[in-house]
Structure formats: structure tokens, C-alpha cells
Amino acid sequence: MKLLQYLIFIFLISSCDSDWVPGIKVSSDKAEIDSFLLLPSPKVKGSVFLFGPKVDSLNCKLSEAACNCCRERLIFTNDSEFIAISYCEENESFCKGKYIFYGPQVILNFSNKRFDYILQKDHLYKSADRRTISERVNQMAPWIFVNFNCSEKIGLKNETETLFGFEDTVSTDFMVNDIANKGILEKLNN
């Protein structure tokens, strides 16, 4: 009888206090967790993932289908931060953010600052090509990824199954050094 009374008491308290109920709180610019994580989470710390819109399920790699602006790379620099790179032809766009786990999901919250690393070709005067860096504010909704298996290879995919990623062969250190050499890392950290 005591157990039944205890369960009823817990139910009444939880139904009155909606912040107590475990789950994800999502606003337009950030997702937060208000519960303990009991399920296994994807192993992403210190990894680099390359993403694209389709998977070649026979070879368990990203499809080589032609796309000019559909590749993304996520660099999970430590246990809570990441750097995202969007590729579009010869240009790159960089953004930093924080990630959290909710069971089998990894939720990415982006900062509002985005830096574009743009190749400017001079066709008129035939001078040397040059790179410029521009900053813009771009508010992005959180991205949510879950694990998926392809043969014995583990990847990440988004909820709508429009973006798939596998761990890349380049190291986190290599990518961070490349971003620093382009003059982007210092800007991302400010």
C-alpha cells in the first residue's frame, strides 16, 4: 500500500511541475536537456565526420553523386564542442557550437557567428586568385543525429534522413590546424 501511495504522490508532483518531467526542451535556437542520460550515446569525441545527402549502402560510404554544395564536415574537438564546415564548390563556411547527448542522440547547438572562406577569382585582369574571410550572423536550428549501422560501420544520420555521415580518415588535429592556418580558428574562438 505504501508503494502505491508513493507512486501516486510522484505522479501528482510530476504532473504539476512540467519542468520535472524528463525530455528535451527545444526553442528556435537551442535544445536543452533536463534529465539524466541512461541510454548509450554515440561516440564522437575527438572524431571528424564527413556528411552528405546519400549513402552507398553496398560499400558503406557517402554516395559520389554530383553535388556542388552538399557536403558537411563536423569536427568534435572535445567532449562538448564542435566545428562545422559547409563546403560549396571552392568555398567553405565555418561555424562553432556545443553538443549534448540525449540517450542515443547527439544534439548540436550552433553559435550565431559564421565565417565564410571565399575564393575570389579575377577573370577580368587575370591576376592571382585570392581568399577572403567574411563574417555573418546566421541563426541555425539545432541538428539532431542518431547512430545507424551499415554492415559493421557506424555512422550518424539526421532525423529526416537527408544527411548521413561516417567517420573521416583525417584527424581532428589536422583539421583544427588547417582551420587555424586559414585564420578562421581565432575568429571562431572570439
Q: Are 75 and 181 in contact (CB under 8 A)?
A: no
pTM of the full predicted structure?
Answer: 0.75
| SS3 call for 8 | helix
CB neighbour class for 41 (10 Å; exposed up to 12, middle 13-18, buried from 19): middle
pLDDT in tens, 87-109: 998 899 999 999 998 888 899 99
- Picking from 41, 39, 65, the residue whose alpha carbon sits closest to that of residue 53 is 65
pLDDT at residue 56, rounded to an integer? 85
User: What does the pLDDT average to over 134-158?
Assistant: 88
What is the Cα Rg of the chain in Å?
Answer: 21
pLDDT in tens, 44-88: 889 999 999 988 888 888 887 767 788 999 999 998 999 999 999
Q: Where are the domains of the chain?
A: 46-189
Cβ atoms within 10 Å, residue 27:
9
pLDDT band at 26 (very low <50, low <70, confident <90, very high): low
CATH topology of domain 46-189: Lipocalin (2.40.128)
